[in-house]
Amino acid sequence: MNISSILNILGSLLLLVALAMILPIIVGIYYQEEDTFVFIITMGLTFISGHFLRRFKYNQAGLQYRDGFVVVTLGWLLVSIYGAFPFLLAGIFNNPIDAFFESVSGFTTTGATVIISLESLSHTILFWRSLTHWLGGMGIIVMTMAILPQLAGNMHLFKAEVPGPLHNRIKPRIQETAKTLWLIYIVLTIVEVILLWLNGLPLFDALIHSFGTVSTGGFSSTALSVRAYNSIAVEGIVTLFMLIAGTNFNLIYKAIQGHFRTVINDEEFRLYLTLIILATLLITANLFFQVYNDLLQAIRYATFQVVSIISTTGFATIDYDTWPPFSRWILLVLMFIGGSAGSTAGGIKVIRIQVLLKKGTQELYRLLHPRAVKKIKINRRVVSETVSTSILGFFFLYITVFVTVTITLTYFGIDIISSLSAVASTLGNIGPGLELVGPLNSYLPLPELAKLLLAFCMMMGRLEIYTILVFIFMDWR
Amino acid sequence: MNISSILNILGSLLLLVALAMILPIIVGIYYQEEDTFVFIITMGLTFISGHFLRRFKYNQAGLQYRDGFVVVTLGWLLVSIYGAFPFLLAGIFNNPIDAFFESVSGFTTTGATVIISLESLSHTILFWRSLTHWLGGMGIIVMTMAILPQLAGNMHLFKAEVPGPLHNRIKPRIQETAKTLWLIYIVLTIVEVILLWLNGLPLFDALIHSFGTVSTGGFSSTALSVRAYNSIAVEGIVTLFMLIAGTNFNLIYKAIQGHFRTVINDEEFRLYLTLIILATLLITANLFFQVYNDLLQAIRYATFQVVSIISTTGFATIDYDTWPPFSRWILLVLMFIGGSAGSTAGGIKVIRIQVLLKKGTQELYRLLHPRAVKKIKINRRVVSETVSTSILGFFFLYITVFVTVTITLTYFGIDIISSLSAVASTLGNIGPGLELVGPLNSYLPLPELAKLLLAFCMMMGRLEIYTILVFIFMDWR
């Protein structure tokens, strides 16, 4: 292990975070809020820590394959710890665990909150809270597009999709890919801000909700979330941008370049849309017949909630936890599926589900035609046995982690639905779950250990599980 | 498709069922009950149907590979239909769907019931109900030991374990293997009957509960199930025999032959025991601290319920649905795991879980050591990539069926916990679930379509899912 280089990289990361803290300081000065000082202090602290770590020598040649896992895991952890300071210093929480939970939830773009009264927060703190989403989204883009494909067999599939970097030539290609995708990310954010602003939202609110949307995070500035504006236009815009944010960014890039046929023919995108339409239709029918008696209202609520959950954003325009079991179960299943690979969304990811479905069909076909050879293809490209097998393995790991963490949550006496939905929601980086952790509730009342465990789930989900598992089980020599 | 031969085999099967109906007739005569006539009529009907089907010509050479799926699926279905007649004719149900549900539940050794007042049934009907378990268990032995290994890639693993028949030489070897295993099955039943009888149970009750135990079925003759006898000895005997019934029958054979070291070193058996001990310890602790305040009572209830559920029997000595979430969730997880392969237990099966765990570890190892080759071994034998991959595929199919059926159950407005536990319990051939379908309740109040769907789940689970899926998706030329 090349500890020196790892510390150096982590130092750079902290310097970037320190740099980002200029933004809440600007917001604080604009609103003339005391919390400005909180960020000046945190920024200084982060800068000094980053600078200190940067003094360790960086030696690219000495960086080993496995060091990547360490960098990614520790990087996310460290940034979340420093990101938690403002919440503590501003006195939002007395408990460091709560502050850490909120920060991890932000940087992993989960959006699960332990804050009950959002209205009592300063603009500065609200802005930082949502900025962690947005920065986290940027981090995900670099990580899933550039770093993970280097590391993980599981990501080979995505590697084939992305004009990704080759081993030992990481740096220049990372920068190139990341720059293009970051540009898309920033443009998406600006366009949404303008659209929301034009539709009557104050600029501050427009920023907050755009940060929460494009990063598929879901932090809002009001307890009522997007519902507070009671505007179909606003809901429509947010829905559209959640849908886009859950789409592979390479595909968005192709759409911008005018290759619409590529986008429309993309199998993952098609399945993503199919799942959204199917779930919306089913829930609409259920709501129309059993709850609202108003078709338009049923469609409106169903569409928003379905897109919000499958894209793993977690905004809500209604307390979907009061819906009938059918609708709630479908939402719960969508929490596992998640958005597209190469987006800021979490969950198992649509393309993995697609490979799993094709693999399942293939196994059945094999039983009937033992001698026939039928390869799995996605977008006319053959998916190798190694890749499809490792995706099956990923599915098993995902379910195993889900089951195991749920066991420990129920140990605290939390009922089964709350426990399993809390785990599904944090592991899939959505935010709200059902019952105790439903869209109108917060994670605050949970025991400290449960909160730590769920924060761990957010990290697990965000880092595609195996990154963390490898980190844990690594041969630490 | 060799329709003529298939019908002929199904005819033989019906003749065997007709033959078995002599037993309830003897019971009916002994107790001088009217329901004797019900069985005389049903026996005649079954005999005539069987005889009619036997007139189709059997041509072994013409039997194709795929015909096996048809025989197994239709066989189980047909037997369940004829087995339902006595319930209808005796007037237990007005609704044929309920009668069919009870019969399928019997023959698949599930033990889910739609009868509320067991005490009002005649001895004859009670005997038949439990006999379906016992006959179903015999069917499972033939099927999993002799027929399925011929058909299914998924079972290759078991094939290697079993001194199984070779292709095209099915018949003699089936008979040989089946005879030995049936003998074990019968001896186990007799020994349990004697032990229960010696411990104070009436012979009739001893028979009923032995049928329910060795087949891992779970039908009882009283609403209180095994608890009715309030005897630690009885509970101990039933626990022991449930544990044995959930063990690979080849292993039991080896134990009888005196090869204890083989038994103790068997990896699946070890994991099976480990899971039982672990779950019992966890639940005992949970019950001791939160419910009973009496360690012995906690151990007693925990042990029985854990063994009952993991062996997929489904007897209960307590309403475990009133336990804290932690214990209930562990039981729910055990429903998915199930007993050992080559036993009458259902569920995913311990050996598959074992391969999945090893495969998961292997994938992680591969990420850390991309060039290293590490093969999965079970009992010192290499598990091929094909087999481990198809087990991963099986796991995905199992979860997919579970999720999908649960969606349709919630559609009827049944709450999530009841729905998912009903599906987990029927798919795993256990019997009771949680909430609405908890151990003190019956499946009677569920809508007709839900009951049909759950009966379908029992068949799916019993026939290792892919048999049914292949049957459905078969190219029916």
- Judging contacts by C-beta atoms under 8 Å, the chain B residues touching residue A414 are 325
Residues A60 and A66: their CA atoms lie apart, in Å, by: 13
- Which among A397, A399, A407 has CB closest to B330? A407
10-residue block means of pLDDT along chain B (477 residues)?
A: 89 96 98 97 97 90 78 94 97 95 98 93 97 95 72 45 37 70 94 97 97 97 89 96 95 91 94 98 97 94 98 96 97 97 94 94 82 85 87 94 96 96 98 95 95 97 88 76
Tell me whether residues B399 and A400 touch, CB distance under 8 A.
Answer: no
* pLDDT at residue B178 in the model: 78
- Judging contacts by C-beta atoms under 8 Å, the chain A residues touching residue B326 are 407, 410-411, 413
Please classify residue B89 by burial: count the beta carbons closer than 10 Å to its beta carbon, then call 0-12 exposed, 13-18 middle and 19+ buried: middle
- Which among A66, A364, A396 has CB closest to B392? A396
Would the CA dihedral through A272, A342, A452, A82 be positive or negative?
A: negative
Which among B106, B113, B176, B92 has a CA at the least distance from the CA of B141?
B176
- Judging contacts by C-beta atoms under 8 Å, the chain A residues touching residue B473 are 364, 368
- Which among B65, B325, B416 has CB closest to A329? B416
* pLDDT at residue B154 in the model: 42
Would the CA dihedral through B318, B321, B322, B327 be positive or negative?
A: positive
Question: Does residue A92 sit in helix, strand or coil?
Answer: coil
DSSP character string of B120-165 = GS-HHHHHHHHHHHHHHHHHHHHIIIIIHHHH-GGGHHHHHHTTPP
* pLDDT at residue B318 in the model: 95
Question: Does residue A422 sit in helix, strand or coil?
Answer: helix
Looking from the CA of A193 toward its CB, the CA atoms found within 13 Å total 12
Which among B117, B118, B80, B75 has a CA at the least distance from the CA of B99?
B80
- Judging contacts by C-beta atoms under 8 Å, the chain A residues touching residue B360 are 393, 396-397, 400
Return residues 60-79 of A near B (CB < 8 Å): 65-66, 69
Residue B239 phi/psi, 5-degree rounding, is: -60, -50
For residues A107-139, one letter each, b for 16 or more C-beta atoms within 10 angstroms of the residue's C-beta and e for the rest, the string is bbbbbbbbbeebeebbbbbbbbbbbbbbbbbbb
CA B49 to chain A, closest CA, distance in angstroms equals 30
Tell me whether residues B389 and A390 touch, CB distance under 8 A.
Answer: no
Residues B385 and B363: their CA atoms lie apart, in Å, by: 12
Return residues 124-153 of B near A (CB < 8 Å): 151-153
- Judging contacts by C-beta atoms under 8 Å, the chain B residues touching residue A324 are 410, 413
Residues B136 and A402: their CA atoms lie apart, in Å, by: 34
Residues B60 and B4: their CA atoms lie apart, in Å, by: 10
Q: Are B136 and B107 in contact (CB under 8 A)?
A: yes
ipTM reported for the complex, 2 dp: 0.93
- Judging contacts by C-beta atoms under 8 Å, the chain B residues touching residue A410 are 324-326, 328-329
Please give the residue of chain A at the shortest CA–CA distance from B66.
Answer: A368
Tell me whether residues B326 and A403 touch, CB distance under 8 A.
Answer: no
- State the residue for tokens 């804290």: B324
* pLDDT at residue B474 in the model: 79
Task: Label residue A349 left, alpha or beta by phi (over 0 means left) and psi (-120 to 50 means alpha).
Answer: left
Inform me whether the C-beta atom of residue A296 falls under 8 Å from chain B C-beta atoms: no
DSSP character string of B215-231 = TT----SSTTGGGGG--
Beta strands (DSSP E) in A137-260 are none
* pLDDT at residue A146 in the model: 66
Q: Residue B384 gets which letter from DSSP? A: P
Question: Does residue A277 sit in helix, strand or coil?
Answer: helix
* pLDDT at residue B173 in the model: 64
Q: Residue A153 gets which letter from DSSP? A: G
* pLDDT at residue B146 in the model: 66
Tell me whether residues B410 and A65 touch, CB distance under 8 A.
Answer: no
Question: Does residue B166 sit in helix, strand or coil?
Answer: coil
Return residues 374-413 of A near B (CB < 8 Å): 385, 388-390, 392-397, 399-400, 403, 406-407, 410-411, 413
pTM comes to 0.94
* pLDDT at residue A250 in the model: 87
Inform me whether the C-beta atom of residue A366 falls under 8 Å from chain B C-beta atoms: yes
* pLDDT at residue B169 in the model: 40
Residues B315 and B242: their CA atoms lie apart, in Å, by: 9
Tell me whether residues B406 and A366 touch, CB distance under 8 A.
Answer: no
CA A428 to chain B, closest CA, distance in angstroms equals 17
Best probe of the B interface among A367, A376, A387, A474, by most B CBs < 10 A, is A367
Which among A139, A129, A120, A109 has a CA at the least distance from the CA of A27?
A129
* pLDDT at residue A452 in the model: 97
Looking from the CA of A312 toward its CB, the CA atoms found within 13 Å total 37
Residues A339 and B300: their CA atoms lie apart, in Å, by: 46
10-residue block means of pLDDT along chain A (477 residues)?
A: 89 96 98 97 97 90 78 94 97 96 98 93 97 95 73 45 37 70 94 97 97 97 89 96 95 91 94 98 97 94 98 96 97 97 94 94 82 84 87 94 96 96 98 95 95 97 88 76
Tell me whether residues B325 and A286 touch, CB distance under 8 A.
Answer: no
Contacts of A51 (CB under 8 A, 6+ apart): A11, A15
* pLDDT at residue A288 in the model: 96
